[in-house]
Amino acid sequence: MNAVEIEEAVSRLAEQPFDAASFCFAFLEAFGNKETTLKRLRSGDSNQSDLLGGVLQRNNIHLKVCAEGEVTATLTALRQSPATTRQKAKFILATDGKSFEAENLADGETLACTHPEFADHFGFFLPLAGITTVKQIRENAFDIKATGRLNRLYIELLKDNPEWSTEKRREDLNHFMARLIFGFFAEDTAIFHGERLFTGTIEQMSARDSSDTHQVLSEIFRAMNTKLAERETAQIKSWANGFPYVNGGLFSGGVDVPRFSKIARSYLLHVGNLDWTKINPDIFGSMIQAVADDAERGALGMHYTSVPNILKVLNPLFLDPLRTSLAEAGENARKLLNLRQRLARIRVFDPACGSGNFLVIAYKEMRAIEAEINRLRGETDRPSDIPLTNFRGIELRNFSAEIARLALVIAEYQCDVHYRGQKLALLEFLPLEATNWITCGNALRLDWLSICPPTGKAVRLRADDLFETPLDQAEIDFKNEGGETYICGNPPYLGSTWQSKEQKSEINSIFEGRTKTWGSLDYVSGWFIKAADYGTHTQAAAAFVSTNSICQGQQVPILWPLIFQTGHAIHFAHTSFKWANLASHNAGVTVAIVGISNNPGKLRRLYSFNESGGAVLREAENINAYLVSGPNVVVAPTDEVLGNMTAMDNGNKAVDGGHLLLEAHEVAELGLSPEQNRTFVKRFAGSFEAINGAIRYCLWITDELKESAMQIPSIAVRLKTVEEMRLKSSKKLTRDTAARPHAFQQVRQVGNEVSIVVPQVSSERRDYLPAVLMKPGTIISNLALAVYDAPLWNMALVASRIHLVWIATVCGKMKTDFRYSNTLGWNTFPVPPLTEQNKADLTRCAEDILLAREAHFPATIADLYDPETMPPNLRAAHERNDETLERIYLGRRFKNDTERLETLFSLYTQMTARQGAPKKAGGRKPKSYDA
């Protein structure tokens, strides 16, 4: 269940008469518990409560309905109950049907309200449904509630008016919804005079059977589009005359309204009766935009950027420096005035603005700074100098663009009320400005310089219906020319394999002529390069929330040199962190925030989270493309090993149609003598076999033994089939090797080596890369990498924490797995020169790891490296390995991964400078590939 569904279920429960016997179970049901779970709780099977009448769901909640007046005492009993602690309850809750009390045991937050009001606090309990929320979101239960109601209305209207579901009419429906939202907001916030003017008029004037609801609404909209002086001529009905002239684009154009069924009318009245003063435009807009999107509706805006994450972008980008200037100005009237003038000229531009949440937050924060200036200057009544139209956006989806405009208008009004009082706010609010400053279009196709022009004041274009789409041009130039421009947002991320044909062609046209390898870039990289290009024309800085994949692995050498070439540097960054929003059981998206500027200043700011989740700020002379404090290195794949480790090679590629590879029963079916078996059959392992302990075999026949192998009929048949299969191949290389069917197509080993096998991909959940030492004579599959016949200390390096950190950074990830590359990750791995003693110590560490694994025989590597169940002796062996290796680097343990990476990049820079630029990887030749 998502938050909206939970809100609806909780509201339904609160509306029902209180039933003491069933309340606890009904409450759990509203938070998504299935009937089978509830049945077990009801029967007592899974009820862990030690209080009479209590219900305790392990790891979740301990709740009890009590006698009237006993709520506080019952909550105390729940808190003190040993079962609450033993069963790890997250919440306790007591109610008597009149009053309601609860506590979140994790953070001590408490809730006390009347029983019917508990539905308004459903956000308090969202962790019960696996929804981890930040405080700001939880406190905006209204936005979730309103979204749920509007969603029901939207679906009902579509049902009643199928002809409105075509693309063009959908835009009309979306526009209609925006008008409704404005009406609800305006009637509750005194923008309209008279109590419930909007909802009340609809209720009174439209028939109960809903037959004329659309006509009543249409007349109200007509009034809002007609100046008072023109109302008589326009023959506006007298009952609609109480509505002010609003227009502002929102009410210009047609007044066509969809037809309402009785149900739709009652939904409309229901949603109008909510308290719209509680609307929070930054959150509401993000949620409501999903109502109009068939694909998104299920999630109802649960994936939007949360306010704390927006502030991670905006604060370092420009709000923190503004606040510093405010503090430095003190009470100096002139400095304060200068700062106010500077604020009035700042442009904020979000080229993937959705419902405008970045713009709204930026606006609200700037208004707060301006209000403080006005307070210090004794001018609290002063109208704001910050023009709303300086907050520009581009958005692909029509409804989102429309909601963005509305959200900004609402934010402006709320700020005016907050800082200047309602009377002054109302004086200037209506009519709305009929200008469009949010462009509906494709940001990667549009010219940002014309959407967000750095110079010029003239109004370029005015349309009759400013909400008409598609609009590919902003209609007004900026007020207060000559200011700074800050580009921000959370553009879409899409890995290269997920991009549509159109999206690929957009990326192609942006990167064409700059790089041939644009094909591996994420879609978001289009926004970075466009921001960098924009910055070459005017004073601007940009920062986006982004997938962290553009700062890892193969995308780094493609994208970042191009950005740096435009004269931009990374002036601040937030290293990778997990995405947190309202989505239930948050998907594992890892993001980073990267700020680029062509005027980056001397010190760059690098934010990260420490192990306890606190934000840490470090100042750095430079931040490189891997978001590490250090010089601008770009690690490129190379065939030469940087240190004195043994080279890592690929495994062997059979290209055999499966006839050289054997399961255990197929070996038996060959009917070989023990001697023949020893000669021609070897163990065969790739990543899967190494990690899961699976056993497979292969025919391994050298050229010298080919003839004797062919004497064995069961082998000869297999080789013949390999030959036929290769001959039929469309690949020349494969056809060329048909004459040598006894051999793998690509051979990387002799066959009797001891190999250290490294999987090509490894789950990011593991704390270490699972390197596996294979018995002599195991043939390694091309689905793994291997170091053949290497001193064992090489394995200590692969298995270390510092190596994992390097791999995660320079090789990047595939979905949520580490992706290992020998040329990019092993050959480039910087290791200080190792003394004989160092090598002996590391060898001992690797032996200890192997012994620790052995102690758990027959557990597989997959079992042993599950972070939840990793055996302590194995963890301790890895700890000793890390301690030994890190002392070689630094003389002590590293404090954290940031320090590890900084040391590695600094060493990499020194070593590559000493050894000369590493040779590009061209692929090591297999031993008998063309023998």
Task: Enumerate binding residues for ligand SAM (CB under 6 A).
Answer: 286, 304-305, 352-354, 357-358, 394-397, 400, 442-444, 489-492
SS3 state of residue 927: coil
CB of 101 to ligand SAM, least distance (A): 35
Instruction: Select 312 or 742, whichever has its Cβ closest to ligand SAM.
Output: 312
Instruction: Select 480 or 503, whichever has its Cβ closest to ligand SAM.
Output: 503
CB of 508 to ligand SAM, least distance (A): 14
| Adjacent-strand bridge partners of 544 | 489, 594
Instruction: Select 128 or 582, whichever has its Cβ closest to ligand SAM.
Output: 582
CB of 285 to ligand SAM, least distance (A): 8
Q: In the β-sheet with 817-819, what is the strand arrangement from edge to edge?
A: 761-763, 817-819, 813-814
**Distance between CA atoms of residues 699 and 718, nearest Å:** 10
At residue 112, φ and ψ (nearest 5 deg) are -140, 125
Instruction: Select 302 or 699, whichever has its Cβ closest to ligand SAM.
Output: 302
Instruction: Select 95 or 309, whichever has its Cβ closest to ligand SAM.
Output: 309
Residue number with the smallest Cβ distance to ligand SAM: 354
Q: Residues for the chain: how many in total?
A: 931
Structural contact between residues 414 and 281, judged by C-beta atoms closer than 8 angstroms: yes
CB of 440 to ligand SAM, least distance (A): 9
CB of 185 to ligand SAM, least distance (A): 20
CB of 488 to ligand SAM, least distance (A): 9
Instruction: Select 443 or 804, whichever has its Cβ closest to ligand SAM.
Output: 443
Structural contact between residues 373 and 512, judged by C-beta atoms closer than 8 angstroms: no
**Distance between CA atoms of residues 446 and 451, nearest Å:** 8
For 785, the token pair is 């990498």
Q: Transcribe 101-147 into DSSP letters.
A: EEEETTT--EEEEEGGGGGGGGGGGGGGGT----HHHHT-HHHHHHH
Q: Which of 182, 177, 147 is nearest to 406 (CA)?
A: 182
Instruction: Select 494 or 870, whichever has its Cβ closest to ligand SAM.
Output: 494
Q: Which of 399, 406, 335, 405 is nearest to 372 (CA)?
A: 335
Instruction: Select 314 or 573, whichever has its Cβ closest to ligand SAM.
Output: 314
For residue 758, the surrounding DSSP H or E stretch is strand 755-759
CB of 400 to ligand SAM, least distance (A): 5
Residue 261, sorted as left (phi over 0), alpha (psi -120 to 50) or beta, turns out to be beta
Instruction: Select 593 or 623, whichever has its Cβ closest to ligand SAM.
Output: 593
**Distance between CA atoms of residues 608 and 478, nearest Å:** 35
Q: How far apart, in Å, are the Cα atoms of 625 and each of 511, 548, 563?
A: 18, 11, 10
Instruction: Select 74 or 357, whichever has its Cβ closest to ligand SAM.
Output: 357
CB of 524 to ligand SAM, least distance (A): 9
**Which are the contacts of 501, defined by CB distance < 8 A and separation ≥ 6?**
none
SS3 state of residue 918: coil
CB of 501 to ligand SAM, least distance (A): 14
CB of 695 to ligand SAM, least distance (A): 47
**Which are the contacts of 169, defined by CB distance < 8 A and separation ≥ 6?**
163
CB of 300 to ligand SAM, least distance (A): 12
Instruction: Select 576 or 823, whichever has its Cβ closest to ligand SAM.
Output: 576
**Distance between CA atoms of residues 54 and 503, nearest Å:** 56
Instruction: Select 442 or 676, whichever has its Cβ closest to ligand SAM.
Output: 442
Instruction: Select 240 or 290, whichever has its Cβ closest to ligand SAM.
Output: 290
Q: In the β-sheet with 755-759, what is the strand arrangement from edge to edge?
A: 649-650, 784-788, 755-759, 772-774
Instruction: Select 511 or 806, whichever has its Cβ closest to ligand SAM.
Output: 511
Residue 745 CB coordination number (10 Å): 24
CB of 397 to ligand SAM, least distance (A): 4
CB of 122 to ligand SAM, least distance (A): 22
CB of 561 to ligand SAM, least distance (A): 24
CB of 358 to ligand SAM, least distance (A): 5
Residue 794 CB coordination number (10 Å): 21
Helix axes 357-376, 333-345, angle to 10 degrees: 160
Residue 878 CB coordination number (10 Å): 21
Residue 907: is it exposed, middle or buried by C-beta count within 10 angstroms (0-12/13-18/19+)? middle
CB of 102 to ligand SAM, least distance (A): 31
Rg (CA), the chain: 33
SS3 state of residue 305: coil
Instruction: Select 548 or 903, whichever has its Cβ closest to ligand SAM.
Output: 548
At residue 773, φ and ψ (nearest 5 deg) are -90, 120
**Distance between CA atoms of residues 707 and 640, nearest Å:** 37
CB of 357 to ligand SAM, least distance (A): 5
Instruction: Select 444 or 797, whichever has its Cβ closest to ligand SAM.
Output: 444
**Distance between CA atoms of residues 596 and 543, nearest Å:** 6
CB of 305 to ligand SAM, least distance (A): 3
Q: Transcribe 441-476 into DSSP letters.
A: S-TTTS-HHHHS-SS--------SSTT-S---S-SS
**Distance between CA atoms of residues 317 and 313, nearest Å:** 6
Instruction: Select 239 or 579, whichever has its Cβ closest to ligand SAM.
Output: 579
Omega of the bond leading into 858 within 30 degrees of 0 (cis):
yes
Residue 483 CB coordination number (10 Å): 19
Instruction: Select 491 or 686, whichever has its Cβ closest to ligand SAM.
Output: 491
